Each structure stands twice: as structure tokens, then as C-alpha cells.
């Protein structure tokens, strides 16, 4: 299993645990909020580079 597949499987497992443990609206807030906060913490130059990159280039 590749590194990206392991990360994806871990994310799915955490998401399912959150849906079981917390109310659905809190789980949705966490699932959508974490990537949004991570994106907002990037410098403007890093955001531009991330928007330019294709999905294949993100793993490099």
C-alpha cells in the first residue's frame, strides 16, 4: 500500500469514528474546517503554488 493510500485510509477511519462519536453537524464542521484552516495558514505564495499544482504533482 502506498503512502497516500495509507493516509487516505486513516482519514476515512477517523471520519467514521467522528461520525459515530459526535453529532453529524460537529463531524461535518471538523471534516470541512481542518483543511480550510490549513489552507488559510499558508503564505500567499504557497497558496498560489498549490492552486497551480495539479493533483499528480501534489504527491512529489
Give the tens place of pLDDT for each residue, 15-41: 888 888 888 888 888 888 888 999 999
The position carrying cell 467514521 is 16
* Cα separation values, 39 from 5, 6, 27, 53, Å: 21, 22, 19, 14
Residues with Cβ within 8 Å of 59's Cβ and at least 6 positions away in sequence, in order, are 4
Q: Report whether pLDDT(60) > 60.
A: no
pTM over 0.95: no
Cell of 16: 467514521
Length of the chain (residues): 60
As given in the structure block, the three cell numbers for residue 18 are 467522528
Amino acid at each position: 500500500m502506498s503512502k497516500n493510500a495509507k493516509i487516505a485510509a486513516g482519514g476515512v477511519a477517523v471520519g467514521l469514528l467522528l461520525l459515530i462519536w459526535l453529532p453529524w453537524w460537529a463531524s461535518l464542521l471538523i471534516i470541512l474546517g481542518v483543511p480550510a484552516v490549513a489552507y488559510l495558514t499558508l503564505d500567499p505564495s504557497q497558496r498560489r503554488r498549490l492552486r497551480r499544482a495539479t493533483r499528480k504533482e501534489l504527491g512529489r
